[in-house]
Amino acid sequence: MTAARSVTVVGSLNIDMLAHSERLPEPGETLVGERFVMTPGGKGANQAVAAARLGAHTVFLSRVGTRQYGSDLLQALEGEGIDCRAVHRDPQALPGIAVIMVASRDGENSIVYVPGSNAQLSAADVQAARAQLQASAVVVAQLEVPVPAIQAAFEIARAAGAVTVLNAAPALAVPAELLALSDWLVVNETEALLMAGGEVSMEVSAAAECLRARGPAQVLVSLGAKGALLCNAEGQVLLPAQAVKAVETVGAGDTLVGGLAAALAEGQGAQAAVRLGQAAAALAVSRPGVQDAMPRRAELGAAFAPR
């Protein structure tokens, strides 16, 4: 695999604890669950797995506590062919932990996330991985690791000519300096409205234009089953999602971002790159699991091929 196809993901690695019940509980309510599983997760790790399964040579840059679960989490990534040499291992810390409730009725979910060692990723850690970042075609980050680390990574990536992709999730304040370093900004509808400072009644299209004015050349707003809104200098286009029966939606956004990154690393154009991510996400949500549900490139047959 050549460097021209490489993707570096700067992000989080968690142990995900998923409890499944028919529906999500109301505040103060206790439900009897249907099943419980523990799996590797974290938005960064999820996006790295998605990119790797879709054909990108993928490097993971993170800080992982190995006091419990951490070594197993790294072995899972390495089993996907992901290069983990840029991961900083901390034997005194715990990895991130996400407690996730999933409704079997409609696949909806709610999540409580405890950052653990993810919160300790530093700009110095990133600088130590300069060579990997400089060899990348695309560098991706989310907001489950500290902003100074992301900013350092994007500065190195931009100087080397790489495409930078910021998935601004969870919904946190993003400094203007980081937005200015982001070639792509990927958010969901709620995140777009919050970042744009708009009211609930604000149109998503207006929010996307507002965000693009702050620096990113491409703003992608995922709209769930309605598809995704792509906003760039050529205007706005709604790219419809494939119609599928949702089984589990937890990893949909991460699969979209991973697919987008893999396609951009191949040199695909903006709309084609988004469509590859959408096709992968549609297949992923149609089956159970998060990383387990993420498809390999060969699985994107006629029904899920980018249009």
Q: Residue 12 corresponds to which tokens in the numbers above?
A: 């989080």
Beta bridge partners of 197: none
Q: What angle do CA 195, 50, 68 make, to 5 degrees?
A: 90
For 237, other C-beta atoms within 10 Å of its C-beta total 14
Contact assessment for residue 231 and residue 218, using Cβ atoms and an 8 Å cutoff: yes
Find all residues with CB under 8 Å of 278, minimum gap 6, and list them: 227, 228, 239, 241, 242, 256, 259, 306
DSSP symbol at 215:
S
Which of 90, 106, 254, 292 is flagged as catalytic?
254
CA–CA distance, 271 with 307 (Å, rounded to integer): 10
Residue 278 backbone phi and psi in degrees, to 5: -65, -40
DSSP symbol at 117:
G
For 258, other C-beta atoms within 10 Å of its C-beta total 33
Contact assessment for residue 100 and residue 109, using Cβ atoms and an 8 Å cutoff: yes
Q: Is 132 left (phi over 0), alpha (psi -120 to 50) or beta?
A: alpha
For 125, other C-beta atoms within 10 Å of its C-beta total 21
Find all residues with CB under 8 Å of 20, minimum gap 6, and list them: 33, 34, 35, 36, 37, 101, 102, 103, 104
Whether 254 is a known active-site residue: answer yes
Identify residue 88 by its one-letter amino acid code.
H
**What b/e sequence results for 190-228 when a residue is b if at least 16 CB atoms lie within 10 Å of its CB, and e otherwise?**
ebbbbbbeeeeeeebeebbebbbebbbebbbbbbeeebb
Catalytic positions, please? 254
